[in-house]
Amino acid sequence: MATGGAAQGAETDAAGLGLTRAHGWILLAAALGWLFDAMDQRLFILARTPALRDLAAGADPATLPTLAGWATALFIAGWATGGLVFGLVGDRYGRVRTMALTILMYSVFTGLSGLARSWPEFAAYRFLCGMGIGGEYAAGVALVAEAMPARFRPIALGMVQAASSIGAILGSALSLLVGPQSRVGGWEGWRILFFFGVIPSVLLVLIRFRVPEPDRWLRARDEARRDPKPGRELGDVRAIFADPVLRRRSLIGMALGMVGQVGLWSIGLYTPELVRDVVFQEHRREVAVEAANLDDLARAWAAKTGDDPAPKLAEWKAEADRHVGRGTLLQDVGSFFGAPFCTWIAVRFGRRKAFATAYAMAMASVWLVFGGMSRGADVDWMLPLLGFCTCGIFGVIVVYLPELYPTRLRTTGMGFCYNIARYLTAAAPVLLGRLAAGAGGYSRAAILMSFIYVLGLAVVPFAPETRGRPLPD
CA distance to 133, 248, 467, per residue, from 81 (Å): 10, 22, 30
Is the distance from CB of 215 to CB of 7 less than 8 angstroms?
yes
- pTM for the model stands at 0.75
Domains and CATH numbers, the chain: 5-222+239-462 (1.20.1250.20)
Is the distance from CB of 125 to CB of 197 less than 8 angstroms?
no
Select from 110, 416, 422 the least CA-distant residue to 265: 422
Please give the mean pLDDT across all residues of the chain. 83
309 compared with 230, residue with greater pLDDT: 309
Region of poorest pLDDT, from 249-253, 372-376, 381-385, 391-395: 372-376
425 compared with 200, residue with greater pLDDT: 200
When pLDDT is cut at 50, 70 and 90, the band that residue 15 belongs to is very low
Cβ neighbors of 433 (< 8 A, separation 6 or more) are 65, 66, 67, 68, 69, 70
Across 210-219, 264-273, 331-340, 423-432, which has the greatest mean pLDDT? 331-340
When pLDDT is cut at 50, 70 and 90, the band that residue 89 belongs to is confident
CA atoms within 13 A on the CB side of 60: 5
State the virtual CA torsion across 319, 321, 326, 331 in degrees, nearest 10: 130
When pLDDT is cut at 50, 70 and 90, the band that residue 430 belongs to is confident
Region of poorest pLDDT, from 52-56, 110-114, 232-236, 305-309: 232-236
Cβ neighbors of 412 (< 8 A, separation 6 or more) are 87, 88, 90, 91, 235, 236, 237, 240, 405
Give the pLDDT of residue 382. 93
Across 10-19, 205-214, 404-413, 426-435, which has the greatest mean pLDDT? 404-413
Indicate whether 129 pLDDT > 90: yes
pLDDT tens string 58-69: 667 667 777 887
Indicate whether 8 pLDDT > 60: no
CB-based burial label for 348 (10 Å; 0-12, 13-18, 19+): exposed
Type of residue numbered 114: G
